[in-house]
Structure 1
Amino acid sequence: MAAWSCLVTGAGGFLGQKIISFLVEEKELQEIRALDKNITPDIREAFSKLQTKAKVTVLEGDILDAQCLRRACQGVSVVIHTAALIDVTGVNPRETIMDINFKGTQLLLEACVQASVPIFIHTSSVEVAGPNSYKEIIQNGQEEEPLECRWTEPYPYSKKLAEKAVLAANGCTLKDGGTLHTCALRPMYIYGEGSKLISPIVKRALTTNGVLEKTGPFSLVNPVYVGNVAWAHILACRGLRDPKKAPSIQGQFYFISDDTPPQSYDDLNDTLCKEWGLRRDSRPSPPLFLMYWLAFLLEAVSFLLSPIYTYRPPFTRHLLVLSNSAYTYSYKKAQRHLGYEPRFCWEEAKQKTTEWVGSLVKQHKGTLKSKAQ
């Protein structure tokens, strides 16, 4: 294959950094452009330490800055789009979430057309497929099934619209007369070292006598290790660059899971943290149906107060369903089309993540010790 270059958006994020760490292993890769709005000194240093023949160019820029995106895409062969605002609790305004996740994707697609970038790989979300109700059970869901999220909450809705835009763009004509080819990957709940979701749970537990908060006692999901999600992106990149494999991948979406055992979110947190003395909350959980209707009442109060006061409920019906449903998905289609096999087994993924949790615990103890002195 000819020399090529790759732009990764959201490069400083949990997944973006891992993708770049695998990209440096790719043959004939001349340049990796790492685009993110916030590149910290630690991330910049981590990129500079990568042992790679390819040049790693760090770009600070906003996904909503059309001119920045056009410059970043100039001369690029592949775009891997991981940049997104992940917010299922409504901390950010709806407009902000929609702009970053949907409008940002549209602007990036337009930049690819203008810069004649032939390959676009989009990091979507399992939430594009649901769950829609805590009573609904999805077991080993397949891409061929008519699974679609019906929630209008900004995060799942924005990701659904973004994925539709990416897949609809497949086959469109580029400025130089070439053709844009796209695909989308839908990872499950991603865990692993550096997780921005697990880290605050651990830190809060360290301030509450080591008790882990409940995040989904009634759930049954198949979490996926960040290294395996990153690996799936690399395989999608290889596949779309391969003339023989590309036709079956173009315009397709893929669920990305691995061999992590199906379990609840609370089981996963307990497994990753118990070695360090952190334990699950043993108090009984309120019935789910009761919490659901309480969430409905809180949302009604929020709506009624909206003209005069912004009230954000502590939880919503969508959040309850998302964190307490039974839904697992198969990666068989990715296996067939992309040649995807998890790069890391469950035991290895668990060990790496547990060691990282240990580093958070030790860091916390070190901070307490220095304060005491």
Structure 2
Amino acid sequence: MVQLRSKKDVRTTMHLITGGGGYVGFWLGKTLVKKGHHVLLIDLRPPIWTLHNDMEFIQVDITDYSALEEVFAGVDCVYHMASYGMSGREQLNKKLIEAVNVQGTENVIQACIKHNVTRLVYTSTYNVIFGGQTIESGEETLAYLPLDKHPDHYSRTKSVAEQKVLAANGQNTEDGHKLRTCALRLAGVYGPGEQRHQPRIVSYIEKGYYCMTYGMKTKQDFLHVENVAQAHQLAGEALTEIKNYKAAGQAYFISDGAPINTFDFYRPLVEGLGYPVPTIQIPISLVYFFAILTEIIHSMVARIYNFQPLLTRTEVYKTGITHHFSIAKAQQDLGYHPTIQNDLSSVVQYYISTGHRRTQKQSSITYWIVNVIIMIIFACFILSLLPFVK
């Protein structure tokens, strides 16, 4: 049910965050409240964290336009962070990905126009440019990856949505004001309490699945949640007249600004939880082939058993191929400066405090037995496919 705000609650400093029930959206909400704004979080699921003063939550489905547009009344700035299909089994649900990422974004744009919202910051992704090709210090002048070249539907729909948001820049709202828009292309987000990627990674580590590596000579970008919030806050300000609408119609790459190999990045987490770092390396081509077959099997059995794939093709690309982007444009236009760079110390402490540190009961012998079994299964799987590989 949509809970409508009374007129006395509608403020000119109201900032609305779609996907505000999620980790990144809620963190941004906290940041905006500290800056003196009233924040409205909307999402299908309520946040698991306690709401702060000047922060409220309304349950809304962004694919339902009639329900969505009602909560935009009196809003000054919108941060459109809601999306679906970023990782894991969600990447394989094309119908829902399309509904949320494309139709949901169109609904947000139309709601902004109807209710005279003048600022819209879109949370985008590196994937609108990256699709498995090597990119070093990429800049915003790079062309969009052709839609038919995307390895997953999430990336394809995020590209479509970003282009719709940027095309909406300068459109007249119903009362004749201008809607100003921009897009922030984020690297992989991390931080204490992150709910999407880190729990899955920690689960793999604890189950012994993390027993081999690939692409160790490659580098990727990461993005601490505090830097995410900073970039969004600055982008919202850069869409105002006082900032000369500097960000209007622009896209920006956002990261910690310190490319690093994915497995080196997660090393402090693995070691901090008391587990050994894998020493076995395998070719990325084998991992990618395994991911393709996993996706095929998932498509065949998902209606009966919607299992969580160990890796998807896109995840293999992201973790095993060099791709990093310059944040110079964001620094120049927005005044963005990362305050944290590739620091997992707070993440390690978070997991230790929630009981995830390896205990003496988890013997090294047991751990390595699991590793050996997994490697044997993987080797047999690959060998069984060799007769079919030309």
TM-score range, shorter chain: 0.7 to 0.9
Separation in 1 of the partners of 2:265 and 2:70?
A: 42
Aligned partners of 2:310, 2:197: CA distance in 1, in Å? 17
* Structure 1 residue 335: Cα displacement: 0.6
Q: Tell me if structure 1 keeps the 8 A contact 2:13–2:76.
A: yes
Shift of 1:207: 3.8
Partner residue of 2:230? 231
Report the equivalent of 1:96: 96
1:142 to 139, 144, 154: 139
Deviation at 1:21, TM superposition (A): 1.1
Residue deviations 1:93-135, cap 9 Å, x none? Answer: 21111111111111111111111111100100111111x33xx
Indicate conservation of the 8 Å contact 2:213/2:280, yes or no.
no
Give the Cα separation in 2 of the matches to 1:90 and 1:38.
19
The verdict on how the C-alpha distance between 1:176 and 1:13 changes in structure 2, with shifts beyond 3 A counting, is same
**TM-score normalized by structure 1?**
0.82
Return 5+ residue gaps in structure 1 as ranges.
369-373
1:126-172 Cα offsets, whole Å, 9 max, x none, are: 11111x33xx3211111112352621521101110110110011111
Q: Distance in 2 between matches of 1:273 and 1:284?
A: 16
* Pairwise CA distance, 1:268: 1.6
When the two chains are superposed, the root-mean-square deviation of aligned CA atoms in Å is 2.9
Instruction: Please say if residues 266 and 280 of structure 1, whose CA atoms lie closer than 8 Å, have aligned partners that are also in contact.
Output: no
One-letter amino acid of the counterpart of residue 173, structure 2: L
Q: Please report how far the alpha carbon of residue 194 of structure 1 lies from its aligned counterpart in structure 2 after TM superposition.
A: 1.8
For structure 2, the 5+ residue unaligned runs are 1-10, 363-390
The residue type paired with residue 251 of structure 2 is F
1:19 aligns with 2:28: yes
**Structure 1 position 326 matched with structure 2 position 335:** no
Match of 1:66 in 2: 65
User: Following the alignment from structure 1 to structure 2, what is the Cα–Cα distance between the partners of residues 170 and 187?
Assistant: 20
Cα pair 2:76 2:118 within 8 Å, conserved: yes
Contact 1:270 1:278 in 2 (8 A): no
Q: Give TM-score scaled by structure 2 length.
A: 0.79
> Distance between the aligned counterparts of 1:284 and 1:71, measured in 2?
53
Q: 1:353 aligned to 347, 354, 367, which one?
A: 347
2:39 aligned partner: 32
Q: Indicate if the aligned counterparts of 1:201 and 1:213 stay in contact, CA closer than 8 A.
A: no
Cα distance, 1:309 vs structure 2: 9.3
Equivalent position SS for 1:74? coil
- Aligned residue pairs, count: 343
2:269 to 251, 267, 272: 272
> Is the CA contact 2:97–2:157 (under 8 Å) kept in the aligned structure 1?
yes
Q: Which residue of 1 aligns with 2:249?
A: 251
* Aligned counterparts of 1:216 and 1:66: Cα–Cα separation in 2: 44
Amino acid at match of 1:280: V
Matched to 1:23, the amino acid is L
- Identity in percent: 27
Deviation at 1:217, TM superposition (A): 4.2
Report the Cα distance in structure 1 between the residues aligned to 2:13 and 2:117, rounded to whole angstroms.
11
Change (3 A) 1:273 1:311: closer
